[in-house]
Amino acid sequence: MGRLEGLRPLLYFAAPLFSEAELAYNVEVTSILECHVDVYLPQRDGGKVVDLVASGVEPDAAFRSIYDRDVQALKEADALFLLLDGRTIDEGAAFELGYAVALGKQCVGLQTDPRRLLPLGNNPMIQVPLGRILTTKAEVEHWAKDFARCARFLASAEI
Query: Which tens digit of pLDDT belongs to each residue from 18-44?
Result: 899 999 999 999 999 999 999 999 999
- Give pLDDT tens digits for 34-89: 999 999 999 999 988 999 999 999 999 999 999 999 999 999 999 999 999 988 88
pLDDT, tens digit (0-9, with 9 covering 90-100), for 97-148: 999 999 999 999 999 998 877 778 888 999 999 989 999 999 999 999 999 9
For residue 112, CA distances in Å to 20, 120, 156 come to 18, 16, 34
Other C-beta atoms closer than 10 Å to the C-beta of 19 total 9
Map residue 49 onto helix, strand or coil.
helix
